[in-house]
Copies of this chain bind each other. A is one copy, B any other.
């Protein structure tokens, strides 16, 4: 699947496709948290959470720093924005095309209210 050079968007969408990882992102959108805080509500071992965290960090969606024995994680909002933007752009093209159709229909058979 990702045996070629994976691009940023591949990694981000892939990371967001897992409900556990999305739960972690949801928690982090409320503010920084430690690894065990992220793990607490999830039905899996700490080990698994650490692995999910790695996926999120490699996707650039989360960054973390260790102080003492606690690793604190924070959301990387810029990557979220990049993902949002990709979708917004596709929607924009779609709507443009839709507008063109409307314009065409309007000139072909103008509605009363548009005359």
Chain A residues within CB distance 8 Å of chain B: 1, 7, 9-10, 13-14, 16-19, 22, 25-26, 29-31, 75, 77, 80-81, 83-84, 86-91, 93-95, 97
Contacts and interface: CB of A to CB of B under 8 A. Distances in A.
Copies in the complex: 2
A13 to B, nearest CB: 4
Contacts of A13: 13-14, 16-17, 22
Nearest to A21: B13
A91 B26 CA distance: 10
Nearest to A82: B87
Contacts of A83: 87
Given A14-B17, A94-B29, A94-B75, A80 B87 contact: yes
A93 B29 CA distance: 6
